[in-house]
A and B are shown apart, each in its own frame.
Chain A
Amino acid sequence: MTEKSPLTYRQMASDAINDPRLQGSIANIQELIGNNAGPALDQLPGGRNARKQGKDLRQETLAHLDVHLAALAQKIRDNGGHVYFAEDATAACDHCIKVAKANGVKLAVKGKSMVTEEIGLNHALENAGIETVETDLGEYIIQLAGEKPSHIIAPAIHKSKEEIGQLFADKLGIDYTDDPPTLTLAARKALRKKFLAADMGISSCNMACAETGHITTVSNEGNIRMATTLPRVHVAFMGMERITARLTDHELLLALLTRAAAVQKMATYMSYIGGPRKKEHNDGPENFHLIILDNGRSKILADPAFRPILNCLRCGACLNACPVYGKIGGHSYDSPYPGPIGAVISPLLFGINKHSDLCRGETLCGACEQACPVQMEIPRMLLELRTKLADGDPQWQVKPHSYMDKLTMVIWSLANRHRLLFKCLLSLAGTLAPLFPETRFFPGTIPPPLQGFRKNKGMGRITGKSFVTRFNHQKKPCSHAIQYKTVKIQESCTPEKKEGCHAPRH
């Protein structure tokens, strides 16, 4: 893929901003879940400290990740399962196809999985002639529509019930309705046939356990349990960081996950799966394969600045708190991982230059860090990414993002170390500013980097005068200089000093 220009990202963002229905949907989830997840997390034993404990557990596990993964793999193999460590997306997809072909699989049903979205599994399976059906309702909707998920937890948040009604009428051959229960039943009916006919079930893993040798799946629809028990073959995918050392760690981490993701004390379905079904079991797959994916995670693990991003539970809480996500929606991020988590992990996994807009297109307001159940310092990591973009970074193969920006910053830095130069540039700005009077008469005259500033009305404020200089030239500072509604100057001020006593213009 070629590097994207800011305009593309900005254009996608603008489209989302100008879509009132999308704005309504995201506002809804941010209000319903975003506003309530924090208080729900605070109700855990330990209150705010629960998140710190969760973070510590994740960090402790990551510090010995190799040991835990080896223990998990060994236990699963002992239980008759197969484990494959995939270096990258291609290796993971190829292995899944190999397993499918070896087992004569023609139809696969899938539970919702971000990691398979990351590696493009559906596409790879379809190319290999294996029909693949998403069974999470939201994922099913966007698969039918040929779209991509736009939220980690609510993948079809961008679709209205009317759009879904039309989609189902077209694709499932039912009469048009926009009644959600009727549409859900229609999907259920269509999916039930697929579940019963499928040869292979594909799931992700929310959190594996090294101690017991299980993966866990968490869902509310029951589709993952069906997908992992009905078909003959179960292939589970997990990012290599999604593991804990001990079973007892799950109590806290899964509680953090479900509260942060959906304001639930626990999910409707939580399954522990450690291998194929045994003789005494009534159901379950005959073959169980676990594919553990690296795909760039080792590199993140090796960099202390970014390692904490592997704490992520993929709960989506940061999306539900982020003001920028709230405006631009998931598709603007052009990555399987949108929102604040996506703004950090997408550049790290897929290229920092490629996703430079994600690194730079956030306000650093800190709402994501505040919302995160495992206290990931997302703003700090965004700053680290920006540092790499600014000056380049051989370790991460980053090229300097913009020589013009660099030059601007060098000049800016020079001016801010030499007060005389600072004042000269300010005077120059004061002289030039009236030439661009809100660009009302010369709309094209503002240089592009300053257009945003103009929209802030900052340009109109530049007078070329400095408060600091004025203050130091005054014998007696103007007291009570501020007035409301009208600008009123105290008599003690000399005319020359009046400008400095202005209240902001309104």
Chain B
Amino acid sequence: MNHPYTVSLFATCLVDTLYPGTGHAVTSVLHKCGINIDCPPDQTCCGQPAFNAGYQKEARRVARHFIEVFENSKAIVSPSGSCVHMVRHHYPLLFKDEPSWHARATQVAAKTFEFTEFLVNRLNITDVGAHFNGTVTYHDACHMNRGLGITEAPRQLIQNIKGLTFKEMTPSDKCCGFGGLFSVKYPEISQSLARDKAMRIVETGADAVVSSDVGCLMNIEGILHEMKPSIRCLHIAQLLAGDGHD
């Protein structure tokens, strides 16, 4: 698999600070697909926490930083549907009154891809040669699903993993209750939604729940662990990086 790509990895703030394993898994999978990766060292956050809380001025400042860091990249890949949704759909709105920044934001938005979207829709890779012995269910993260409209790419990748049995939870697209700062400000509501989600996961009998946003996984993980410690919460990159050996 030779692809003439050097892509820039936008790890996202959560992966950078809390989930390095996901970052390594993403680089591992992309390397395996013959993709060169750079990871701009000045990157931080896409600005979504401020944007979703209404602090547009602060979000805009962080967005400018993101644009400056990534605008010379050929393509930007990120293991978060939510952050890509922010860059792709909210950046142009953030700069609607600043023509020069709007143009730069639009350019960056056009070359920013969610990890599974990049593999499946840009590189036509649906099998990365991964192995996993067990049953897996997939949580459709809201911004990935309703924001970017990506539901099939991750499923294709998952279903092509050797040794894996895929089982949908019902419903797979109901919010896990994360919502960024929502989960901090309204923990009771957030946790009750996470509990519902964990129950749907347990019902599938899966050995692992997989999603495309570590935010969701972080929200689900604690409660799922209390309910059934044997079920693992994995970012899809971690599943795809696996060789099946425990």
A: residues with CB less than 8 A from B are 6, 10, 13-14, 17, 35, 323-324, 327-328, 359-367, 369-370, 383, 385-391, 405-406, 409-410, 412-413, 415-417, 419, 422, 426, 429, 449-453, 455-458, 461-462, 465-472, 477-486, 499-504, 506
Contact = CB atoms under 8 A, between A and B. Distances in A.
A468 B43 contact: yes
A457 B224 CA distance: 12
Nearest to A458: B218
Contact of A484 (B32, B58, B232): B232
Nearest to B235: A504
A478 to B, nearest CB: 5
Interface stretch (B19-27, B100-108, B111-119): B19-27
A434 B229 CA distance: 23
A451 B37 CA distance: 36
Interface of B: 9, 11, 13, 15-25, 27-28, 31-32, 37, 39-45, 47, 49-59, 61-62, 64-65, 132, 142-143, 146-147, 171, 173-175, 177-179, 182-193, 196, 208, 217-219, 221-222, 225, 229, 232-234, 237-238, 241-243, 245-246
Contact of A504 (B42, B44, B193, B221): B221
A15 to B, nearest CB: 10
Nearest to A30: B174
8 contacts: A364-B142, A387-B55, A450-B184, A455-B187, A471-B39, A480-B243, A501-B20, A504-B217
Contacts of B246: 483-486
A324 B53 contact: no
Main secondary structure of the interface of A (DSSP, over half): helix
B54 A387 contact: yes
B78 to A, nearest CB: 12
A504 B28 contact: no
Nearest to A471: B39
Given A367-B174, A478-B28, A452 B184 contact: yes
A37 B178 CA distance: 26
A452 B187 contact: yes
Given A366-B147, A383-B54, A458-B18, 13 more contacts: A10-B186, A324-B193, A327-B193, A359-B54, A386-B52, A391-B57, A412-B58, A452-B183, A455-B190, A457-B222, A471-B9, A478-B24, A482-B24
B202 to A, nearest CB: 15
A385 B64 CA distance: 23
A417 B222 contact: no
A89 B192 CA distance: 37
A486 B45 CA distance: 30
Contacts of A14: 188
Across the A-B interface, give the 5 residue pairs with the lowest CB-CB distance, nearest first. A386-B54, A363-B179, A452-B184, A452-B187, A365-B175
A386 B27 contact: no
B114 to A, nearest CB: 16
Most buried by A among B15, B52, B143: B52
B222 A484 contact: no
